[in-house]
Amino acid sequence: MKTRYLSPFFLKRCFAVLLPCFWSLFLSAQLPEVHVHEGPDEIVVTADFSGNGLADTVVLDRVSGAYRFGHQVSAGSFVWGEPQAAGVGGVTSASAGRVVLTARHFLAVTAPEANRIHIVDPVNP
């Protein structure tokens, strides 16, 4: 009976496919959870937008689509930026997720008039 070994090509392909999966599982354990609070006038999204492992906060105005980014530099200490335009007015919903990079969250904003989901990088507007 002949012994069969896995080809180096097969092993490289498996490694190329499985490594990103394991890496994303590792990163998902490090990022804080995303929390969204929707009020009548504004939406507050808490996530790790800067990638430092601390939960940052974005306050988004529903009517104008302007947001303020609060960067958490240490536990409970925030540095607030100036209001920025999210690119969508009449906002109906917002959330955050790892849609561009896996190391940090990005803000996702939508409105019926926009007919799209607009991805915003609150750290680098």
pLDDT at 53: 86
User: Considering only 44-53, 66-75, 97-106, which range has the smallest mean pLDDT?
Assistant: 97-106
Strand partners, 111: 116
Class of residue 96 by CB neighbours under 10 A (exposed 0-12, middle 13-18, buried 19+):
buried
> Is residue 19's pLDDT more than 90?
no
Region of 14 (left: φ > 0; alpha: ψ -120 to 50; beta: rest) is alpha
Per-residue pLDDT tens over the stretch 71-104: 988 888 899 999 999 889 899 999 998 888 778 8
pLDDT of 14 higher than 50:
no
Q: Give the pLDDT confidence score for residue 9 in this predicted structure.
A: 52
Q: Cα(117)–Cα(13) distance, rounded to whole angstroms?
A: 34
101 vs 120, higher pLDDT: 120
Choose between 19 and 101: higher pLDDT.
Answer: 101
Both structure tokens of 105: 């969250």
H, E, C per residue of 66-101: EEEEEEEEECCEEEECCCEECCCCCCCEEEEECCCC
Label residue 14 exposed, middle or buried (CB < 10 Å: 0-12, 13-18, 19+): exposed
Report, as an integer, the average pLDDT of 104-118.
Answer: 89
Work out the pLDDT band at 52, boundaries 50, 70, 90.
Answer: confident
Question: Is the whole-model pTM more than 0.75?
Answer: no
pLDDT of residue 13 exceeding 80, the answer is no
